[in-house]
A = this chain, B = another copy of it.
Amino acid sequence: MRNAGTSGTKAALYDAFAASGKALASGKRLELLDLLAQGERTVDALAKAAGLNLTTASAHLQTLKQAGFVATRREGVRIHYRLAGDDVAQLFALLRKVADRHQAAVPAARDAYLGEDGAAEVTHEELLARIDAGNVVVLDVRPPEEYLAGHIPGAVCIPVAELTDRIGELPEDTEVVVYCRGEYCALAYDAVRLLTDHGRRAVRLDDGMLEWRLADLPVRAGTTA
């Protein structure tokens, strides 16, 4: 009944799904998605943050837009890109998780990038309990614009680049829980090493803002801590 005629449209449907898969098929694009998962950004800011030529970044963003993964907003002369929805962040996070679990190269690359890590980590639940108990300082070491776009309520914002200079802003006797973008972000790893080297007690949240938000935990925007 349906065969030659349909096999064309069947392929069309799978190819349409594959168009979304293709958007996930480049390391550069995944890096852009990772940045966008922290909040909206202009093309120029994305290109700089990802270390890309502006033209190249724009091309990748067009690809992501074709797949419907990102949306844009014009503000005067610049264009802000953002994720098209939480489901996109979810897909991104799941891709990383599945890749980590099933592809041997990922844990290897992860260790090479983040450092093989025996250091203690804190889970969501532990952190929430300790925030309630009041015996912890939560430190967000991402760039300020990402902190402004959304952070853990009560967290202090000190970008890792400024941490050496501003370490005095942290109380000396309280343990610090550090977080950054997500499970594979280097910022919190660097910060914990830095704080520990300065004799502070510091541990990393076991993942970061991406997973926190996807777990529907409370998020605050703006500067009001």
B residues in contact with A29, CB < 8 Å: 18
- In angstroms, Cα B21 to Cα A106, docked, is 13
Contact yes or no, B20 A112, CB < 8 A: no
CB of A11 within 8 Å of the partner chain? yes
Stretch at the interface among A88-96, A119-127, A150-158, A167-175: A88-96
Chain B residues positioned under 8 Å from A108 (CB to CB): 16
Instruction: Say yes or no: B9 contacts A103, CB within 8 Å.
Output: no
Check: A215 CB closer than 8 A to any chain B CB.
no
Q: Which residues of B contact A30 (CB under 8 A)?
A: 14, 17-18, 21
Q: Which residues of B contact A13 (CB under 8 A)?
A: 106, 109-110, 112-113, 184
Interface contact B101-A95, CB-CB below 8 Å: no
The size bracket of the interface on A is: 35 or more
Q: Is A199 an interface residue (CB 8 A)?
A: no
Give chain B residues whose Cβ lies under 8 Å from the Cβ of A31.
14
**Main SS at interface, chain A:** helix
Rounded to whole Å, the gap between the CB of A100 and the closest CB of chain B is: 8
User: Do B21 and A24 touch (CB < 8 A)?
Assistant: yes
Answer yes or no: A224 CB below 8 A from chain B CBs: no
Q: Say yes or no: is A77 at the interface (Cβ < 8 Å to chain B).
A: no
The reply to whether B21 and A25 form a contact with Cβ atoms under 8 Å apart is yes
Q: Which residues of B contact A103 (CB under 8 A)?
A: 16, 19-20, 66-68
The 10 closest A-B pairs by CB, nearest first: A68-B102, A21-B24, A14-B27, A20-B99, A15-B27, A25-B25, A68-B103, A18-B27, A13-B109, A22-B25
- Supply 23 A–B pairs (Cβ within 8 Å), ascending by A: A9-B113, A13-B112, A13-B184, A14-B28, A14-B31, A16-B99, A16-B106, A17-B99, A18-B29, A18-B30, A19-B105, A20-B99, A20-B102, A25-B25, A67-B103, A68-B98, A68-B99, A68-B101, A68-B104, A69-B98, A87-B94, A87-B101, A91-B98
